[in-house]
Structure 1
Amino acid sequence: MSYSEMLMRPDEYRVMFEIEDKYWWYRGVRALLRQLLPRYIHSREARILDAGCGTGANLELL
């Protein structure tokens, strides 16, 4: 297995994308984001970095 294959496996990302809206972990993380973001974002000009954003599903909340 190459170094790049160890870092990012397209087949795993595909599975993550397919289950993110149903799986308890991802649903829980999104629920926490919905609660916490309003505390820290006070304007539309606020900047947020989603480092290691995976499939990008949390971008909707940002």
Structure 2
Amino acid sequence: MNLPKAVLLTLAFGLSSMAFAEDGADRVFTRVVDAQHTVAAKKSAQQVASTATQKEENAKACC
């Protein structure tokens, strides 16, 4: 009787651990994607700012 209980408990704990591991990977992946979007937005904002600065400098030099 103890052997089937041990096997059942081992399977139950194994399946629950796999479920938690999969959920954890989803959370990490979501954080990575969010971080990439944040960095891309900052980089885009910096490029827009530098382009605007260049246009202003060119306009001053021109006139």
Q: What TM-score comes out, normalization by structure 1 length?
A: 0.28
Whichever structure has more helix as a proportion of its residues is 2
Q: Which has the higher contact order (CA 8 A, sep 6+)?
A: 1
Larger Cα-atom Rg: 2
Q: What TM-score comes out, normalization by structure 2 length?
A: 0.28
